[in-house]
């Protein structure tokens, strides 16, 4: 009897490789041995092995034939409780490598279910199912028809190749046959990559008409793959999209591109190519590469690839540590704007940067050193400004810059924090092909100041914390001017981050000059309920107006405009950030507001921007725009989407989008409609309609949503 018990424990290893020391546990209401060769367990039979459990009403093991007879209902579950197999009856070899299960259901990766009248297991590798219904949808007793299913005369599941083969397959939606395929092969849910067709998608635009995309995925070994997507439309557009990916031991490469022949530009082959790569180098350096090119300015918009108006290709090697940053990069720009010419913009840029923070030892405080070289090249050789953009068409420039800075803080009586700070810069320029600035020029500049902060802290009776902090910053800086072009410091932001900066220009071509005082006060409240609010008010006073800033920055004149900023953050997922730059008459010079809402049913991201016209910032007209992107769960499975951008100056929308998505445990259906209203010499207003369908459980990569609710 002990020998038979040990043998039945081995035989019920549930088809998993077992070592000699592995053991299975058998529990039943009744256990008997007949004829010295048959062991019969019946009544609430349970077998435990390696965290898995087999439940049945009766199990018979015949030593003479080395076979198992199992009477159901049979349920095989994992340690987590997920069901693997359900059957009414089974006759199997003792090692479970071969046998037959009747009225059985096979569950793969907790997603795909295959129900069959009969399941035959062969050689421990292939499982054959007869008269099969396959679906990842939940089936209810009151409505046994799944949302989608594949009916087949026979299905073979190869556990080694992780492939599912269907014979005489019929795809049904809501029980209605949609199409028939004599032979169908699909990966099982456990396989991430397999050669074969992916789900098609439909796209309709007013320019191209209705078109179908049918991607075909090709595995190229364990570390590379290729996706080929033919895209054909009813308006004589033929496109082949390509995506190549390869992983290496130290990084990865991805290429995306397409070739097109259409009637939008007859007789011309159109297309694009994007390359992205990232690698790890020795000494903790990283190497990134991005390449972007397109045949014509309208292609990306015509085919819904992107909405960029400048292409940015670069290669960069960099390393960032706690107190150090090193970067070397080469950048190439390609403009798609009608108002720009690729020959007169910097088409090739090279930068080298070394930045180090360090402690100054006996002197105290913290110091920093930044060394940088910059070069840019234009393909034009015209030293004059023929396009009247304020820059010589052929200007080429090289610059070497060095900056050193220092700051040290002290705590004074009454909790006042005093900080001494300063910086010095030196730049050497070499400029060619510019009738105004050509030649070699050097510049030195220095700033020094003192900053006083006096934080006031109060704890409220309800646990809320209030912090009020007035700040006074007095800066001395040389007022000397020099004749240098400004290309990297045109756009200046006046906000909370730059209110107390020694230099508000973002680049090196311009430096902030003249003595000045930066004044501000902030109030912050932290509530124990998890929400917080912060308000900042500030202004800059100058000894003299040196004409450094344009009217759109809010920093022009001897007194800047008022800066007012507020941020509000709720624990429930609501965040509001707003800032405004106002003159003495409270007229708005520049303003922006951002609202983000992430709730259980609603997600919203919206922003508004306002800026007056400023030719110095290359903004001849004012900017007033509203953008928003919203999602709302309509019920457990349906989600509505709405997005748009409105230009108040032009008094019209620029883009608008509307969509709806259905997602449950077995299906994702997405339909969207968008409209682009803008036009130029290269693009026209376009309406875009797209539809996609993904079956959860067949390697689509889509995560399932809420399952349907059964009434009974």
Query: E strands of 295-364, at which residues?
Result: 310-321, 324-335, 348-359
Give how many domains the chain has, as a whole number: 3
**Does the residue 130 lie in any domain?**
yes
Q: How many CB atoms lie within 10 A of CB 420?
A: 15
- Residue 583 domain-assigned (yes or no): no
Q: Find all residues with CB under 8 Å of 176, minimum gap 6, and list them.
A: none
Tokens of 642: 């709405």
Site of tokens 């429930």: 572
Residue 316's DSSP bridge partners are: 288, 329
What does the pLDDT read at residue 329?
A: 97
For residue 266, tell me if it sits in a domain: yes
- Residue 59's CATH number: 2.60.450.10
Residues 192 and 102 in one domain: yes
> Where among 164, 197, 230 does a domain terminate?
197
Average pLDDT of span 93-120: 77
- Domain-located, residue 244: yes
Containing structural domain, residue 666: 622-712
Q: How much is the pLDDT for 83?
A: 58
Which of 298, 321, 344 represents a domain boundary (last residue)? 321
Residue 504: inside a domain: no
Largest CA distance in the chain: 112
179 and 216 in a single domain? The answer is no
pLDDT score for 37? 77
> Which stretch of 183-192, 457-466, 597-606 has the lowest confidence by average pLDDT?
183-192
Same domain, 190 and 232: no
Among candidate residues 303, 321, 339, the one where a domain is terminated: 321
Handedness of CA 153, 159, 161, 162 (dihedral sign): positive
| pLDDT of 434 strictly over 60 | yes
Tell me the C-alpha distance between 514 and 516, whole Å.
Answer: 6
In the three-class reduction of DSSP (H, G, I as helix; E, B as strand; rest coil), residue 119 is classed as strand
Give the DSSP letter string of 557-568: SSBPPEEEEEEE
Average pLDDT, the chain: 88
pLDDT digits (tens, 9 = 90+) for 225-274: 999 999 999 999 999 999 999 999 999 999 999 999 999 999 999 999 99
Q: Do both 172 and 106 map to the same domain?
A: yes
Same domain as 192, residue 216 = no
Pair 162, 93 in one domain: yes
In whole angstroms, what is the distance from residue 198 CA to residue 574 CA?
38
In a domain, 606, yes or no: no
Of 605, 571, 570, 577, residue with least CA distance to 593: 577
Q: Tens of pLDDT along 482-509?
A: 889 999 999 999 999 999 999 999 999 9
Contact by Cβ (8 Å): 311, 291: no
Q: Does 85 share its domain with 233?
A: no
The two three-digit tokens of residue 6, written as one number: 């040990």
Same domain, 129 and 12: yes
**335 and 313 Cβ atoms separated by less than 8 Å:** no
Indicate whether 251 and 123 sit together in one domain.
no
- Cα angle 485, 582, 655 (rounded to 5 degrees) comes to 75
The answer as to whether 78 is a domain residue is yes
Query: Has this prediction a pTM greater than 0.85?
Result: no
Based on the fold, state whether residues 82 and 184 are members of the same structural domain: yes
- pLDDT higher than 60, residue 17: no
Rounded CA-CA distance 121/229 in Å is 37
Name the residue among 112, 114, 57, 43 with its Cα closest to residue 90. Answer: 57
Query: Can the peptide bond before residue 450 be classed as cis, meaning omega within 30 degrees of 0?
Result: no
Assigned domain for 41 exists? yes
Residue 18 has pLDDT above 50, yes or no: no
Same domain, 35 and 134: yes
Question: CB-side exposure of 574: number of CA atoms within 13 Å?
Answer: 8
One domain for residues 123 and 228: no
């Amino acid at each position: 009897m002990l020998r038979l018990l040990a043998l039945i424990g081995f035989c019920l290893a549930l088809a998993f490789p077992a070592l000699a020391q592995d053991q299975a546990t058998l529990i039943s209401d009744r256990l008997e041995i007949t004829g010295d060769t048959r062991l019969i367990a019946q009544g609430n039979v349970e077998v435990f092995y390696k965290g898995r459990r087999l439940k049945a009403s009766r199990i018979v093991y015949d030593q003479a034939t080395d076979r198992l007879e199992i009477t159901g209902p049979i349920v095989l579950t994992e340690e987590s409780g997920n069901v693997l197999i359900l059957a009414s009856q089974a006759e199997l070899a003792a090692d479970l490598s071969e046998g037959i299960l009747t009225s059985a259901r096979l569950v793969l990766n907790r997603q795909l279910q295959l129900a069959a009248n009969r399941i035959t297991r062969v050689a421990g590798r292939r499982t054959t199912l007869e008269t099969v219904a396959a679906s990842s949808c939940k089936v209810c007793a009151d409505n046994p028809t799944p949302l989608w299913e594949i009916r087949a005369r026979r299905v073979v599941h190869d556990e080694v190749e992780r492939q599912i083969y269907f014979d005489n397959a019929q795809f049904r939606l809501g029980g209605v046959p949609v199409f028939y395929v004599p032979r169908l092969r699909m990966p099982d849910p456990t396989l991430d990559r397999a050669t074969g067709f992916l789900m098609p998608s439909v796209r309709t635009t007013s320019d191209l008409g209705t078109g179908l995309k049918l991607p075909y995925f090709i595995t190229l070994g364990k570390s590379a793959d290729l996706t080929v997507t033919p895209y054909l439309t009813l308006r004589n557009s033929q496109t082949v999209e390509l995506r190549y990916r390869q992983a290496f031991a130290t990084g990865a490469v991805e290429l995306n591109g397409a070739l097109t022949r259409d009637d939008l530009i007859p007789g011309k082959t159109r297309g694009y190519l994007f390359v992205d790569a990232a690698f790890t180098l020795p000494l903790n350096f990283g190497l990134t590469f991005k390449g972007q090119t397109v045949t014509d300015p309208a292609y990306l918009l015509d085919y819904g690839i992107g909405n960029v108006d400048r292409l940015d290709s670069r290669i960069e090697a960099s390393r960032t540590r706690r107190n150090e940053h090193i970067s070397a990069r080469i950048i190439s720009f390609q403009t798609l704007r009608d108002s720009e010419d690729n020959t007169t913009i910097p088409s090739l840029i090279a930068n080298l940067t070394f930045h180090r923070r360090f402690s100054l030892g006996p002197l105290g405080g913290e110091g920093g050193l930044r060394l940088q070289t910059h070069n840019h090249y234009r393909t034009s050789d015209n030293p004059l400004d023929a396009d009247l953009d304020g820059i010589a068409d052929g200007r080429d420039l090289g610059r070497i810059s060095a900056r050193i800075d220092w700051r040290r803080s002290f705590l004074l009586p009454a909790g006042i924090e005093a900080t001494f700070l300063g910086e010095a810069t030196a730049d050497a320029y070499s400029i060619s092909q510019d009738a105004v600035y050509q030649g070699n020029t050097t510049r030195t500049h220095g700033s020094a100041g003192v900053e006083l902060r006096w934080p006031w802290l109060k704890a409220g009776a309800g646990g809320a914390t209030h912090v009020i902090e007035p700040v006074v910053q007095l800066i001395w800086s040389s007022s000397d001017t020099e004749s240098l072009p400004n290309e990297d410091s045109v756009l200046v932001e006046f906000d909370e981050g730059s209110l107390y900066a020694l230099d508000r220009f973002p680049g090196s071509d311009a430096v902030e000059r003249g003595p000045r005082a930066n004044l501000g006060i902030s109030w912050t409240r932290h509530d124990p309920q998890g929400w917080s609010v912060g308000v900042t008010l500030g202004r800059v006073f100058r000894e003299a107006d040196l004409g450094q800033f344009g009217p759109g920055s809010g920093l022009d004149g001897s007194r800047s405009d008022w800066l007012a900023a507020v941020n509000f953050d709720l624990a429930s997922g609501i965040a509001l950030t707003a800032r405004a730059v106002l003159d003495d008459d409270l007229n708005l010079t520049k303003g922006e507001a951002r609202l983000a809402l992430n709730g259980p049913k609603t997600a919203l991201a919206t922003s508004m921007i306002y800026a007056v016209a400023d030719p110095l910032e290359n903004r001849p007209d004012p900017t007033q725009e509203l953008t928003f992107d919203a999602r709302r769960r309509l019920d457990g499975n349906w989600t509505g989407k709405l997005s748009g951008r409105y230009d108040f100056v032009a008094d019209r929308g620029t883009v608008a989008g509307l969509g709806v998505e259905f997602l449950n445990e077995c299906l994702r259906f997405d339909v969207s409609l968008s409209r682009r209203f803008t036009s130029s010499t290269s693009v026209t207003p376009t309406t875009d309609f797209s539809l996609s369908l993904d079956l959860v459980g067949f390697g689509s990569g889509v995560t399932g949503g809420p399952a349907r609710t059964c009434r009974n």
